[in-house]
Structure 1
Amino acid sequence: MSDRTFSLEEVIPVSSTIVDRTVSILDRTSNSEDQSFECSIEHLPFYRSVESDLLLMKQYLFKRGLNEHEIVSQEEIVINALKESLNQFIQIEKDKNDNLIITIDNIMNECDHLNHLLELEWTIEKPHDGLTIFEQMKRANNLLESSKHVLKTKTTEINELRIQEEKLCQKLNEAIVEFDNEDETPFARRKTVLENRIHDLTNFQVERSSHVKQYREQLHQMKIELELDNNYNLTADNSNDNNNIALLRLIDEPFETIELSKANVSNLQTLANELDARYQKNKTKGDQLVEQLTALYDRLNMNEIDQEIKLPIDNPHRPSNLIKLENEIERCKDIRRQNMKTYILNIREEIFVQYEKCFYSREQMELFQGLYSNVFNEETLEQHEKELEEMKTYYNRNEQIFIELHRWLDAWEEYKNAIIEEKERRHIETTLKKAQENVLTLADEYEQTHGHSFHVDGISIIDFFTHEKENYSQEKELEKARKQLARGQTPVLTNTQQSVKRQLAHTEVMKTPSKQQQPEVKPATPFRPSSAMSNKRFPPLQPQQNKVRLMEKNKKLYYHEKQSQVNCPYEKHDSILNQQDKEV
């Protein structure tokens, strides 16, 4: 055996260069961070095997005849190849670890993103570096799996809300909610926005459904009341055919199938308002025609046989009935022209009824010059109808005052004439006080509105109450004086009685004209019913009752003057009225 050969059993001398290189290989292949790795006992067989193989290779080279320099060069080639191979394996393992760490980082980033979107209850923490990479990977995957489970649940909720929203939007023709960046919008915010949107859409649906049902019912009713055809008398216009067809579908198709859009609701509302306006106009016209026809029947004294329309008529506002009413009114007007005098006299009686209801004085009645006229033509008729309408309007506007005034007068008559107990008298006094306060309050409001005081019998309401009470005091004193005379006693006149006596004496002087004094002659005028001239008040009479009352109490004067057309002074007129009151 040569000097370069050796066996495994014996110690083979190795040059210092080879030893150094061997140590160098060990140093370079060892983990610099863990120096204990090269000293591990389990690696010694490997190092010995490598060293043995290197020695064996040297023997082969030496035996082949290579010199030492060539052997060392070849040995370096082998050692470099071993080193490169080892470095490749090291790099492969290092890349694997790096890739695993990158994967873990990606998983943790995804968990962080999900945590931001889902707002999870737990905190996302990166696995501790002290753990192995596989353990870190396992914990990261578990965390990601839990987050994805929550994500799936939340996504299902959002999808269900989206479906609800889309259905409502389709029904209401509304736009769906759009997020600027939905993928980055937290689920809680998306859920809140969608729930609020669904709540608003639901309210819209309820509101619009209610309106549509209301308008549909109204339109169906208007179709009957206005006697419309199946097309609701919509105008035939080629440009609006599609709109009219769509509108008819909204009215007549099943409610569940129609779209509750703003435009549809608005179109239904517009049509309903138009038909309602037409209905209200017809209703007002129908009431006016009925009132006009009723007045014509009453003033013409037409019996039921002569009346072609039996009043009250059902549904006078319907177009067919309006035509009937108009035709009947025209027929009655023809009859009226043939009986103008009777017709105007009947209106005049109605005017007297209104004068009575409104507590008009004679002076106020005389302001209407038409009452003096004996000419019965269209102009006179128009004057009377205008006066009657004004008196009705005046009464209606101040009806509450007249009602309270009648309450006061009823209680006042009961207070003056009835023999009542003290308790009942106090009750009547309370009623009088309350009614008077109400009348004065309403009269103040009237004065503030119209700028002048409210008059009763031609005087202010305060003077009216004062005169009524003064007259009552005078009546009581005169009654007391009559009783004294009946007993043969000489009555003592109080200041009030003396004042009354002076007024009566003054009135008698004024009523007797002197030779130089000519009585003022005024046209003969109809007079106010005597009940209106006295202190007593009665509830408003019906036209027929008032007519009987006028004929019974006033025919000697009123109709005698009207037939003979004899003028008489107002003084004589007053004396006749006073004489009539005494007889009554």
Structure 2
Amino acid sequence: MILQAMEYTFIILILMLQLFWEEKIREGKLHLLKYKIKNLRDEIQIWWEKCFLSEDEKQEFDDYKSTDYTNQLYVSHVEELGRLKRKFYRNESLYLLIEKQQDTWKRVVNMDKQLYNPERLFQNRGAQLLQEERERRAAQKDLPQLEELIKKETELYEREHGRPFLLYGQSFSDMILYQKEQHKENQKSLKITKKKCENSAAPSTAPKTITSVSKLKRKLVSNIQSPASAQDKQARVASCEKHASHPVEASRPKRGLKVRQKLIERTVSVPAAQP
């Protein structure tokens, strides 16, 4: 009986260990699956931007926000990524042209923004402003050429496929028109901000009479004397008047005069020597 009970206990322990390790293996697989799906989602975001998809087009992939991490969810992400890559490579040359145009447009916007930077003139090291102006002119020259070339390519695509070529849910012409309108609005706001800064930094144009009045006030305040200083001044004036009415006597003491008179009398009273 004891041996049989020990056997049952041993079997139960083995089953518990088996269940424990099966759960650990299941958790490990789930963690690995989450990691793979997360990497796929990061890559899908990159290709969404490469294909210039709008938010509505992104929302069509419902599994992107799903938290039910299964093999089926993994497969759906793999299929979505493959679809995006096929879409891009079928029109790779056109997408690359649009990407170049967008990079050039961003450079133009940033350089136009720098024109309203008040610290720009203090950062001119090594003819930096001259170099920026050259780059700005070159970008403004290349931009219309790229736009015209892309318009021709998109028209060719629409004739061949019978559907519009959309970027962020709109045609290329509408997209660049919207971007330029936004840029104009931003420039207006930058001009207003710059003008306000210049007005606040400008010197005050107050009338000169205010300065004269302020100087006069300071002068009057400096001339005001305290009662103690007025009494000291009156005492000094009285002392000067007293000395003027009673002339000062000789500076030598009277004792010195008496000694000198005695010496004179002594020399006079001494009789002359007999022959």
**TM-score with structure 1 setting the length:** 0.25
Is 2:192 the partner of 1:481?
A: yes
In 1, Cα distance between equivalents of 2:61 and 2:191: 42
Aligned to 1:431: 142
- Residue of structure 1 aligned with 2:165, choices 454, 467, 471: 454
Aligned to 1:408: 101
Written as runs of structure 1 = structure 2, the 5 A alignment for 1:68-147 is none
Is 2:41 the partner of 1:344?
A: no
User: How far is 1:338 from its partner?
Assistant: 6.5
Aligned to 2:181: 470
1:249-306: CA deviations, max 9, x gaps? xxxxxxxxxxxxxxxxxxxxxxxxxxxxxxxxxxxxxxxxxxxxxxxxxxxxxxxxxx
In 2, Cα distance between equivalents of 1:479 and 1:416: 12
Q: 1:359, 1:457 within 8 Å by CA — same for their partners in 2?
A: yes
Supply the AA of the counterpart residue of 2:141: T
User: How far is 1:416 from its partner?
Assistant: 2.4
In 2, Cα distance between equivalents of 1:367 and 1:403: 25
Aligned to 1:394: 87
Structure ranking higher on relative contact order (CA contacts 8 Å, 6+ apart): 2
Q: 1:360, 1:457 within 8 Å by CA — same for their partners in 2?
A: yes
User: How far is 1:488 from its partner?
Assistant: 4.4
User: How far is 1:362 from its partner?
Assistant: 1.4
Supply the AA of the counterpart residue of 2:92: E
Identity score, percent: 27
Is 2:66 the partner of 1:355?
A: no
Secondary structure of the structure 2 residue equivalent to 1:348: helix
Unaligned runs of 5+ residues in structure 1 are: 1-334, 490-584
Root-mean-square deviation (CA, aligned residues, Å) is 2.2
In 1, Cα distance between equivalents of 2:89 and 2:159: 18
Secondary structure of the structure 2 residue equivalent to 1:462: helix
User: How far is 1:366 from its partner?
Assistant: 0.5
User: How far is 1:484 from its partner?
Assistant: 2.4
Supply the AA of the counterpart residue of 2:160: T
User: How far is 1:463 from its partner?
Assistant: 0.7
Supply the AA of the counterpart residue of 2:63: G
Larger radius of gyration: 1
Written as runs of structure 1 = structure 2, the 5 A alignment for 1:175-190 is none
Cα gap change, 1:421 to 1:385, in 2 (>3 Å): closer
In 1, Cα distance between equivalents of 2:29 and 2:89: 28
Unaligned runs of 5+ residues in structure 2 are: 1-27, 112-128, 201-275
Written as runs of structure 1 = structure 2, the 5 A alignment for 1:277-316 is none
1:197-222: CA deviations, max 9, x gaps? xxxxxxxxxxxxxxxxxxxxxxxxxx
In 2, Cα distance between equivalents of 1:349 and 1:442: 30
- Residue of structure 2 aligned with 1:443, choices 154, 167, 191: 154
In 1, Cα distance between equivalents of 2:46 and 2:136: 32
Q: 1:336, 1:343 within 8 Å by CA — same for their partners in 2?
A: no
1:322-370: CA deviations, max 9, x gaps? xxxxxxxxxxxxx867621211111111111111211222111101111
Q: 2:30, 2:69 within 8 Å by CA — same for their partners in 1?
A: no
Moved over 6 A (4+): 335-338
Written as runs of structure 1 = structure 2, the 5 A alignment for 1:11-410 is 339-410=32-103
1:459-500: CA deviations, max 9, x gaps? 2111111011111111111101112232448xxxxxxxxxxx
Cα gap change, 1:423 to 1:352, in 2 (>3 Å): closer
Supply the AA of the counterpart residue of 2:177: T
**TM-score with structure 2 setting the length:** 0.52
Q: 1:404, 1:435 within 8 Å by CA — same for their partners in 2?
A: yes
Q: 1:443, 1:454 within 8 Å by CA — same for their partners in 2?
A: yes
